[in-house]
Structure 1
Amino acid sequence: MSLRQVERHTLSPTAHLLRNSRLFSLPPPLPRPQVEGDYGSGIIKSSSTATLPYPTHQAIAAPPSSLSRGDWGLKRPLPLKSKITQTSNPVVRIKQLDTIEHITDFESAGDHVRTREKWAEMGIPMLKGKLGKTDMSSTSPKSAFEEVGDVTSYEELAGLDAQGVFFEALRERAVKRLEEMGRSMGEVEEEEVEMLAEVLGGRKSRRISAQADGMDKILKKLEGEVKTAKERVALRKERIESWKNLTPEERGTRTVKRIGKRVQDIATQIENYNVKVKRRIDRTQREMDAVRRGERSTSKPTPTPSKPSSTYSPLPLPTAIPPSIGARWKHEGPWLPSMGAAEFASYLSHKISYRRAEFSICLEEYVRHKLYTQRRTSSLQTETWPEDPEEAKRYLASKENEWSTITKADISTSIRKLREDCARDPIQSELVQRLIIPFLRLSPMKLKLAQYATSDVRTEGGLKFQDDTGPLSLSTHPSAGLSYVRTRAYLENHPILGPQAHSTPVPGRVVQPRNANTSREQYARIGVAGFITNDNHGGFSPMEHNKSGDPSGLNYLDVEAPGGRKIWINPKFGSVDADGRVLVNIEAAHSEAVKVKNGQLDDVAPVRKHQEKDPLKGLSKAVGSSGIKGLEEEDLGKLDASQQQAIASIQEVLRAAQNGEHGEKAEQ
Structure 2
Amino acid sequence: MSKSLNSPTARLLQSSRLFSLPRPLAPPALETVSSTGVYRASETATLPYPTHQAIATPASSQFRGDFGLKRPLPAKAIKGRPHIRIRAQDNSAHITDFESALNHTQTQAKWQQIGAPLTVKNKSDRYTGGGKSIQSVYDAHVDNTDSEAVRLAMFQPEDVSSRSRRDALPSSHAPETKRWKYDGPWITGMQEGQFATWLSSSALQGRKEEFRAFLVQRMLERRVQDEERALREQGERRAISAAKEEDIRADIEANYDTEIKRLRDEHEIQYLGSEMTAAICDFLDLPGIRAQAESGSLARTVDLQNALTDSLASGQNGPPSTHPGAGLGHVRTNAVMENHPLWGPQAHGSPVLARVITPRSTFSGPNYQAKLGVGGVVTQDPVGDSFRNDRRNTGPAEYNEENIPEQYVDVDRMMSQIDPDLPGGNKAWVQPETAHIDEQGRIRLDVTRGDKEAVAVKRGKVEPIHESRSASTRGPESAYPSQSIANFGTGLPDMRRAGPPRSLTTGFDEELARRPLQESDAAAKIRELLGNAPRR
TM-score (norm 2): 0.69
Displacement of 1:340 in angstroms is 4.0
The equivalent position to 2:477 in structure 1, one of 613, 627, 635, is 613
Partner of 1:257: none
| SS across alignment from 2:271 | coil
Partner of 2:529: none
Conservation of the 8 A alpha-carbon contact between 2:216 and 2:252: no
Partner of 2:38: 43
Displacement of 1:535 in angstroms is 1.1
Displacement of 1:358 in angstroms is 2.9
Q: Summarize the Cα distance change of 1:403–1:520 in structure 2 as closer, same or farther, 3 Å threshold.
A: closer
Matched, 1:659 2:502: yes
| SS across alignment from 2:272 | coil
Partner of 2:422: 561
- For residues 33 and 25 of structure 1, what CA distance do their matches in structure 2 show? 24
Partner of 1:156: 149
Displacement of 1:533 in angstroms is 0.5
The equivalent position to 1:418 in structure 2, one of 263, 267, 271, is 263
The equivalent position to 1:325 in structure 2, one of 143, 160, 176, is 176
- For residues 555 and 131 of structure 1, what CA distance do their matches in structure 2 show? 30
Displacement of 1:599 in angstroms is 1.2
Q: Summarize the Cα distance change of 1:431–1:20 in structure 2 as closer, same or farther, 3 Å threshold.
A: farther
The equivalent position to 2:462 in structure 1, one of 598, 601, 606, is 601
Displacement of 1:452 in angstroms is 8.9
Conservation of the 8 A alpha-carbon contact between 1:92 and 1:110: yes
- For residues 64 and 370 of structure 1, what CA distance do their matches in structure 2 show? 63
Q: Summarize the Cα distance change of 1:160–1:607 in structure 2 as closer, same or farther, 3 Å threshold.
A: farther
Matched, 1:142 2:135: yes
Displacement of 1:351 in angstroms is 2.1
- For residues 113 and 613 of structure 1, what CA distance do their matches in structure 2 show? 57
Conservation of the 8 A alpha-carbon contact between 1:372 and 1:404: no
Displacement of 1:412 in angstroms is 2.5
| SS across alignment from 2:378 | strand
Matched, 1:72 2:67: yes
Matched, 1:578 2:422: no
Displacement of 1:488 in angstroms is 2.5
The equivalent position to 1:358 in structure 2, one of 210, 229, 235, is 210
- For residues 373 and 410 of structure 1, what CA distance do their matches in structure 2 show? 19
The equivalent position to 2:272 in structure 1, one of 427, 435, 438, is 427
- For residues 134 and 557 of structure 1, what CA distance do their matches in structure 2 show? 38
Displacement of 1:365 in angstroms is 5.3
- For residues 228 and 126 of structure 2, what CA distance do their matches in structure 1 show? 43
The equivalent position to 2:369 in structure 1, one of 510, 520, 523, is 523
Q: Deviations over 1:15-73 (max 9, x none)?
A: 96279744332111010011111114441111111000011111111211111111111
Matched, 1:436 2:263: no
Of 48-57 and 408-417, deviating more is 408-417
- For residues 147 and 123 of structure 1, what CA distance do their matches in structure 2 show? 21
Matched, 1:532 2:378: yes
Task: Flag the structure with more relative contact order, 1 or 2, with Cα contacts below 8 A and sequence separation at least 6.
Answer: 1
Partner of 1:182: none
Partner of 1:501: 347
| SS across alignment from 2:436 | strand
Partner of 1:55: 50
Q: Deviations over 1:169-207 (max 9, x none)?
A: 9xxxxxxxxxxxxxxxxxxxxxxxxxxxxxxxxxxxxxx
Partner of 1:96: 88
AA at the equivalent of 2:344:
G
- For residues 420 and 27 of structure 1, what CA distance do their matches in structure 2 show? 49
- For residues 51 and 408 of structure 1, what CA distance do their matches in structure 2 show? 58
Q: Summarize the Cα distance change of 1:596–1:367 in structure 2 as closer, same or farther, 3 Å threshold.
A: closer
Give unpaired runs (5+ residues) of structure 1.
170-314, 379-401, 454-466, 633-654, 664-668
- For residues 178 and 228 of structure 2, what CA distance do their matches in structure 1 show? 33
Of 581-590 and 144-153, deviating more is 144-153
Partner of 1:128: 120
Q: Summarize the Cα distance change of 1:15–1:553 in structure 2 as closer, same or farther, 3 Å threshold.
A: farther
Q: Deviations over 1:435-485 (max 9, x none)?
A: 2222323222223679998xxxxxxxxxxxxx9624553222221111112
TM-score (norm 1): 0.57
Q: Deviations over 1:107-157 (max 9, x none)?
A: 110000111111111122222225769998553331121122122223435
Identity of aligned residues (%): 34
Displacement of 1:544 in angstroms is 5.3
Q: Summarize the Cα distance change of 1:331–1:527 in structure 2 as closer, same or farther, 3 Å threshold.
A: same
Partner of 1:445: 289
AA at the equivalent of 2:420:
V
- For residues 156 and 403 of structure 1, what CA distance do their matches in structure 2 show? 26
Rg larger in structure:
1
- For residues 438 and 161 of structure 1, what CA distance do their matches in structure 2 show? 15
AA at the equivalent of 1:492:
E
- For residues 63 and 225 of structure 2, what CA distance do their matches in structure 1 show? 77
Q: Summarize the Cα distance change of 1:536–1:149 in structure 2 as closer, same or farther, 3 Å threshold.
A: same
AA at the equivalent of 1:444:
G
Q: Summarize the Cα distance change of 1:26–1:574 in structure 2 as closer, same or farther, 3 Å threshold.
A: same
Displacement of 1:585 in angstroms is 1.1
Structure with greater proportional helix content: 1
Q: Summarize the Cα distance change of 1:77–1:412 in structure 2 as closer, same or farther, 3 Å threshold.
A: same
Displacement of 1:596 in angstroms is 1.1
- For residues 413 and 133 of structure 1, what CA distance do their matches in structure 2 show? 38
| SS across alignment from 1:532 | strand
